[in-house]
Amino acid sequence: MNRRQTLAVLGALGHSPVYALGANAEPRAETFQYVSTVDRTGPLIADAFYQPDGKRKPVLAVMHGFSGDRTAVTADAKQLAARGVFAVAPDMRGRGKSAGKFDSGGLDTHDIVDAIREVIRKYPAEVDPTRISVVGYSGGGGNAVFCGVRFPDMFQCCISFFGVVDYGGWHRSKGRPDCNMKMEAALGGPPDQLPHIYAARNAIPAATNARGTRFHFFWDEEEVMCPADMIEAFVEARRLAGLRNTHTHISRKLDAVR
């Protein structure tokens, strides 16, 4: 995440940096374990990054991509924590050092919520439990959206960078054939064989669940690996419902910074 992206995320959160950019101390980093409250899968692993100043900070889950693990977002989480956010970066189940079988957009969302709840329990003097948000990239961007629609009363802001909001649609797009193979291995087959499984991983029908949550979507106009049509369908569903708290940020060819 570059400086511009960091500021974009903070702006989406409505958070003014508490510390001067580049001038503050390295945030504290701690790794912790927790267990799924849904099926007791564990241990699940997450990193916490924060400035230990005894001030209650907004909580931001920072989510890795479909095929990655939490180390892919360590630098991002540190940058955000350095600006006054309490950042938590989990390994999704079956990824990195977390136990369990990868669930490709299913129980992953619940694991994010469990990580946040564990942070609230472990760091009561450092976090503000009324200010919870999530940011992610690709599959993690999809997780950010699913957090909003599945837990509509929990998240203030969901920020998705080229996110997967419809796993069946993503599979059919063939934007990432390698990820299609991983999806089929995790879920038991392709969408035409398991429509109900993939329907549970389509956020578009649930787009209006989180009426009070702000959604921010970032993508490039030439994005092909995670096609934007599924994001546009989600945004349009909210627009038709009269919701005005959904925002799109599209980088284009002629932009000075892309």
Please write the tens of the pLDDT for every residue from 106-120. 999 999 999 999 999
Note whether residue 99 is domain-resident: yes
User: What is the DSSP-derived secondary structure letter of residue 209?
Assistant: S
Note whether residue 197 is domain-resident: no
Q: Output the domain CATH number for residue 74.
A: 3.40.50.1820
Distances in whole angstroms, Cα of residue 101 to Cα of each of 88, 216, 245 = 21, 29, 35
Q: Tokens representing 58?
A: 């907004």
Q: If you compute the radius of gyration of the chain from its CA atoms, what whole number of angstroms results?
A: 17
Q: How confident is the model at residue 23 (pLDDT cuts 50, 70, 90)?
A: very low
Order across the sheet with 86-90: list the strands: 28-34, 44-50, 86-90, 57-63, 127-137, 157-161, 214-220, 246-251
Note whether residue 236 is domain-resident: yes
Note whether residue 73 is domain-resident: yes
Note whether residue 178 is domain-resident: no
**Structural domains counted in the chain:** 1
Spatial distance between the Cα atoms of 67 and 182, rounded to a whole number of angstroms:
9
Task: Give the sign of the dihedral formed by CA 62, CA 68, CA 70, CA 75.
Answer: negative
DSSP β-bridge partners for residue 17? none
Note whether residue 189 is domain-resident: no
- CA count, 13 A, side-chain hemisphere, 44: 28
Which tens digit of pLDDT belongs to each residue from 94-144? Answer: 999 999 999 999 999 999 999 999 999 999 999 999 999 999 999 999 999
Contact between 21 and 1 under an 8 Å Cβ cutoff? The reply is no
Strand, coil or helix: 220: strand
> In terms of residue numbers, what domain contains 66?
3-167+204-251
Which tens digit of pLDDT belongs to each residue from 189-234? Answer: 999 999 999 999 999 999 999 999 999 999 999 999 999 999 999 9
Note whether residue 256 is domain-resident: no
Buried b / exposed e along 192-216 (16+ C-beta atoms within 10 A): eeeeebbeebbbbebbeebeebbbb
Cis peptide before 43 (omega within 30 of 0): yes
Report the pLDDT averaged over residues 180-196. Answer: 97
Spatial distance between the Cα atoms of 103 and 258, rounded to a whole number of angstroms:
32
Report the pLDDT averaged over residues 48-63. Answer: 97
Note whether residue 187 is domain-resident: no
Spatial distance between the Cα atoms of 24 and 83, rounded to a whole number of angstroms:
8
Which tens digit of pLDDT belongs to each residue from 29-42? Answer: 999 999 999 999 99
- pLDDT at residue number 21: 46
